[in-house]
Amino acid sequence: MKWKAAWIALCLVLATQAGAASRNQGQAGDFDFYVLALSWSPTFCLTHPQDQQCIGKGYGFVLHGLWPQYARGGWPASCLPQSRLSAEEMAKGMSLFVTEKLLKHEWAKHGTCSGLEASDYLDKTDAALGVVQIPQAFQPFNVPGPLAARDIEALFRESNPSMGRHGMAVICKGKVLSEVRVCLNKELRLAGCPQSIKTQCRGGELRIPAQR
């Protein structure tokens, strides 16, 4: 009886894990909007100084990814069928992403859920980058002083007049700027973010490491 009970418990655990994996995987093309994630490279490089991204590049904001999202919260990930990027697609992707490792990861986890072929997804990502204007304070060679998350949001709204009050989120690691996430609809127009996309920073001024 103990063996039977243990077997039933194991089956329940496996079934739960399979269900969770299925929900996480999602269906390619079945999503509601995009998030364009832009990472502040100097913050990443504080903890990854030997990464290819961090060796003498002097990046500011860099493309993290274009992520299909659900309006109710969450996102599809690693959708089937998975396919490797061709040499031509890799070359196109490397004009957008700062490292090959990041490109491959973003395609496998997020791009496959867009419902687009890899080349079209990369074109979509390129177009999304053209939609969002980076504020002058964060352009190369500029050194923004400490800013609160609300001030960063205000600078982005100023540079992107059609962005609504809740059109983006600022992400931090402790009190250090890490990333901004901008909500776009499927046609890549700036859109309001649902409650699941919100600023994740402590109050007060944030440290913004200088580009180097």
What pLDDT is attached to residue 212? 66
What pLDDT is attached to residue 24? 55
Spell out the residues 6+ positions from residue 108 whose beta carbon is closer than 8 angstroms to its own. 78, 82
CATH no. for residue 97?
A: 3.90.730.10
Contact call for residues 51 and 41 (beta carbons, < 8 A): no
Q: Is residue 212 part of a domain?
A: no
Give yes or no for residue 74 having a pLDDT over 50: yes
Active centre residues (catalytic): 64, 106, 110
**37-70 pLDDT tens trace:** 999 999 999 999 999 999 877 899 999 999 999 9
Number of domains in the chain: 1
Instruction: Give the largest CA-CA distance in the chain.
Output: 71
What pLDDT is attached to residue 58? 85
Give yes or no for residue 196 having a pLDDT over 60: yes
Q: Is residue 107 part of a domain?
A: yes
What DSSP line would sit under 76-93, residue for residue?
--SPSSP-PPPHHHHHHH
Q: Is residue 194 part of a domain?
A: yes
Q: Is residue 15 part of a domain?
A: yes
Q: Is residue 211 part of a domain?
A: no
Q: Is residue 181 part of a domain?
A: yes
pTM above threshold 0.95: no
**142-179 pLDDT tens trace:** 878 899 999 999 999 999 999 999 999 999 999 999 99
Q: Is residue 186 part of a domain?
A: yes
Q: Which domain holds residue 187?
A: 2-206
User: In sequence order, what E strands does the chain have?
Assistant: 33-40, 61-69, 147-148, 168-173, 176-184, 205-206
What average pLDDT does the structure give for the chain? 89
Q: Is residue 164 part of a domain?
A: yes
